[in-house]
């Protein structure tokens, strides 16, 4: 087992351990410092500025992705852009994990009901509540009411399929808004 990380997703394509958290954070900070040299010299529009900024973001984002369960390193903590890149990495990691559970139809792991049960309940004319959204049948349609009270027709009741319900559950797991948020 030599040459592989304890956490397999931290392994690189060759099977060896990917960059350490410290090396990713240090690289991000060095690229960010180099970017600021272009700012202070008045060359913020130079291609090199954008390249170093992008590399800093990429390193901080990868650090967040591969080390999402670790606290954010001090090297990334005191700058808004680097902290945001770390956060994007953590979010991407979470979304990838959710997508794997969706692909495996592991609805209980997502704390969601089975789509077959939802389909059966709706076809029986009873409402279903999932993640703050209500699904119900009204006349010949299946409707959805959002947590904000916004209602919409999802489809004709006769056209409702298991795939429709699975798509709805996937959106709920990934926190996709089904309706506009009132402001």
Name the residue ranges covered by the structural domains of the chain. 8-103, 110-173
Q: In what order do the strands lie in the sheet with 128-130?
A: 128-130, 133-138, 141-145, 151-156
Contact 161, 110 (CB under 8 A): no
Of residues 6 and 169, more confidently modeled = 169
CA 83 to chain centroid, in Å, comes to 16
pLDDT classification of 1: cutoffs 50, 70, 90? very low
The pLDDT, as a whole number, for residue 151 is 87
Hey, what are 25's tokens? 């954070």
In this structure, what token pair is assigned to residue 66? Answer: 């591969």
Contact by Cβ (8 Å): 27, 59: yes
Mean pLDDT, all residues of the chain: 88
pLDDT score of 11 = 57
* Tens of pLDDT, residues 104-163: 999 999 999 999 999 999 989 899 999 889 999 988 889 999 888 888 888 888 888 999
Alpha-carbon distances, residue 105 vs 76, 99, 178 (angstroms): 36, 10, 21
Rama region for 105: left / alpha / beta (φ>0; ψ in -120 to 50; rest): left
pLDDT at position 4 is 44
Which pair of structure tokens corresponds to residue 99?
A: 């997508």
Looking at residue 12, what is its pLDDT? Answer: 57
| pLDDT for res 88 | 97
Cα–Cα dist 51/59, whole Å: 12
The SS3 assignment for 3 reads coil
Percentage of the chain with pLDDT > 70?
A: 87
Cα 118 off chain centre by: 25
Q: pTM for the complete prediction?
A: 0.74
Angle at alpha carbon of residue 37, lines to 31 and 42, rounded to 5°: 135
Q: Is the dihedral of CA 141, 146, 149, 150 positive or negative?
A: negative
pLDDT of residue 153: 86
**What whole-number distance in Å separates Cα of residue 85 and Cα of residue 44?**
20
Query: If pLDDT is split at 50, 70 and 90, which confidence band does 17 have?
Result: low
d(CA 82, CA 26): 11
Mean pLDDT for 66-79 is: 95
Residue 24 has pLDDT above 90, yes or no: yes
């Amino acid at each position: 087992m030599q040459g592989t990380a304890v956490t397999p997703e931290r392994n690189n394509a060759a099977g060896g351990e990917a960059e350490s958290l410290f090396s990713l954070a240090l690289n991000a900070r060095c690229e960010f410092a180099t970017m600021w040299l272009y700012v202070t010299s008045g060359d913020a529009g130079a291609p090199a500025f954008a390249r170093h900024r992008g590399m800093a973001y990429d390193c901080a984002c990868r650090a967040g992705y591969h080390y999402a369960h670790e606290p954010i390193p001090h090297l990334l903590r005191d700058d808004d852009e680097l902290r945001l890149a770390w956060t994007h990495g953590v979010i991407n990691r979470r979304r990838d994990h959710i997508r794997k559970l969706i692909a495996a139809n592991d609805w209980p792991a997502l704390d969601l009901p089975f789509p077959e049960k939802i389909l059966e309940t709706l076809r029986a004319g009873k409402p279903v509540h999932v993640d703050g959204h209500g699904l119900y049948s009204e006349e010949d349609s299946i409707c959805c009411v959002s947590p904000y009270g916004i209602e919409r027709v999802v489809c004709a009741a006769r056209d409702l399929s298991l795939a429709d319900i699975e798509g709805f559950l996937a959106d709920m797991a990934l926190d996709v808004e089904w309706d506009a948020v009132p402001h």
